[in-house]
Amino acid sequence: MPDARGNQNEAVLVSACLLGVCCRYDGTSREEPRVIADLAGTRMVPICPEQMGGLPTPRVPCDLVGGDGADVLEGRAHVVDKDGVDRTANFIRGAEESLKLAQRFGARRAVLKARSPSCGVASGVTAALLRKNGISMESAG
């Protein structure tokens, strides 16, 4: 039975760092109590696309080069770490794994970490793949 804060049957993908998981590139979290409170009563499915794509924590920070996440998915842009290593394959794999979780849990919504090359709603690789598959997104943190 849903409560006033959310629908217990609704599954929502959430960037794991927003839930307090220390999975960011620098080994920290970006816990957002407001996100946790707003999603109370829903089934939160934590994701960290960069970890799910095979990158360690901590890891060298990465940037999108030559376009945004949609361009990366189309092969027109890349994700490169600060040491110059191409991490595009890791980011695409992490996006695909995130989409698999959304499909498995029936998530039609995601709350993603702002300003991330994976999760950034405006330009991230995972955000682009989720958007392409009809998943609505909100940005936090």
Q: Is residue 94 part of a domain?
A: yes
CA–CA dist 72, 82 (Å, integer): 17
Residues found in the chain: 141
pTM higher than 0.85 for the full model? yes
φ, ψ at 8 (rounded to 5°): -60, -20
- pLDDT at residue number 6: 53
Q: Is residue 29 part of a domain?
A: yes
CA–CA dist 15, 39 (Å, integer): 13
Residue recorded with tokens 């934590």 = 46
Q: Is residue 113 part of a domain?
A: yes
Number of domains in the chain: 1
* Domain around 30: 11-140
Residue type, 52: M
Of the candidates 9, 3, 8, 26, the one whose C-alpha atom is nearest the C-alpha of residue 116 is 26
Q: Over the stretch 59-82, which tens digit does the pLDDT of each residue have?
A: 999 999 999 999 999 999 999 999
